[in-house]
Amino acid sequence: MSSAGALHAFRPNPLLAPQLIQTVLATKRPVRGRFAGHPHAMHRASVQHLLDCGIADGDPVRLTGMYARQPESRAPRGLVVLIHGWEGSHDSAYLYSMASKVYDAGWNVFRLNLRDHAGTHALNPRLFHSARIEEVLNGVRAARLIDDNPSRPLAVIGFSLGGNFALRVGLQGPAVGVTPQLSIGISPSIDPGATLRAIDNGPAVFKRYFLDKWRKTLAAKAEAWPGRHDLTALASITSFVEITRRFVAEHTEFGCLEDYLGRYTLTPPMLMGAASPLAILTAQDDTVIPFADFDGLGARGSVIAYDAPKRGGHCGFIENLALESWAEKRVVDLLSRI
């Protein structure tokens, strides 16, 4: 099931084909130029920015990100804003590698950090939750101001939960003056309730990983704002659905879990009827994002590309022993058509 056009279909090396290997490699594979020694050109060009992202719940919102402009000798094709997955950052392997490939293809890149990610727990008093789309839209708007040429094309790329945010930018952004020429969700969580249940019912290693990540970030938030957040009751809950339910009831403005999840659930008809062009890449063997969530989706309407290979895991799509990403090639191909 693919709309990959001229690009070859994703066929991973048999040694890398298992879902667990694909998913682990997404975050753990070595990425050339990511660290000091022989940094990638994007790494050398990157400058950290603190963004003013409006007001939420009466508080000013600030987000951080890394901006890399093309060298003076090269006119940029436009700006790509990249959004990491839940508990990721601008430096996550999958995001950094994608940003490097997009930069090499001639685009300025901005790697945006969500609230309470990348060690920014002290920046904003209130807790991150996944319905905070307004500040992400404001972050994309602020990144465009830094890029200082709004006439150039804009694209947004996100992974997992960041894929959900990227698709929402494409859905909701045009109404507030943020109009990407393309928004791409890679392994996007479009039905967050199904994602929560999949984590609870899936491989124990993933459940432990996500619970441990959340407990650590909640502890970091409580430490950054002493006396502001009492999060101790969440530490003993071992169901991802139930810890989210308790979190929503006690620490968000939503009346119940269902109301909260409904704020960022995306359906295939919504995606195909979006106000700006979208593209979705997902894998049928992803145990975090159930493939059934995409029933009825196709490369129709506003969805200009929908790729769903049988293999790929969660945000993986690693195709050979050189650990190259097919998703990166696909994204560069899609961006070349803007």
Q: Give 183-223 pLDDT, tens digit per residue.
A: 999 999 999 999 999 999 998 988 999 999 999 999 999 99
CA distance 318 to 245: 34
Average pLDDT rounded to a whole number, residues 265-287: 98
Structure confidence at residue 57 (pLDDT): 87
Structure confidence at residue 35 (pLDDT): 62
Q: For residue 202, count CB atoms less than 10 angstroms from its CB and return exposed for 0-12, middle for 13-18, buried for 19 or more.
A: middle
Structure confidence at residue 149 (pLDDT): 87
Look up residue 104 and give its two tokens: 């090499």
Give the model confidence (pLDDT) of 239-262 as tens digits: 999 999 999 999 999 989 999 999
Q: What is the largest CA-CA distance in the chain?
A: 57
Give the model confidence (pLDDT) of 307-328 as tens digits: 999 999 999 999 999 999 999 9
Average pLDDT rounded to a whole number, residues 279-302: 97
CA distance 234 to 230: 9
Written out in words, the top-level CATH class of the domain with range 14-192+264-335 is alpha beta
Give the model confidence (pLDDT) of 17-35 as tens digits: 999 999 999 999 988 766 6
Closest C-alpha among 337, 294, 313, 292 to residue 85: 313
Q: Which residues pair with 228 in a beta bridge?
A: none
CA distance 110 to 11: 30
CA distance 155 to 146: 15
Structure confidence at residue 258 (pLDDT): 97
CA distance 219 to 235: 9
The pLDDT of residue 268 is above 90 = yes
Look up residue 271 and give its two tokens: 């995606």
CA distance 276 to 124: 31
> DSSP labels for 286-318?
-SSS-GGGGTT--S-TTEEEEE--S--TTTT-B
Domain boundaries, the chain: 14-192+264-335
H or E element that contains 199: helix 192-201
Q: What angle do CA 238, 244, 247 make, to 5 degrees?
A: 110
Asked if residues 3 and 281 have their Cβ atoms less than 8 Å apart, the reply is no
Give the single-character DSSP code of 33.
T
Average pLDDT rounded to a whole number, residues 115-120: 98
The pLDDT of residue 36 is above 60 = no
Look up residue 256 and give its two tokens: 């119940």
pLDDT band at 94, cuts 50/70/90? very high
Q: State what percent of residues in the chain have pLDDT above 90.
A: 89
Asked if residues 294 and 268 have their Cβ atoms less than 8 Å apart, the reply is yes
Place of tokens 């093309």: 70
Structure confidence at residue 6 (pLDDT): 60
Average pLDDT rounded to a whole number, residues 88-98: 96
H or E element that contains 61: strand 59-68
Average pLDDT rounded to a whole number, residues 37-53: 91
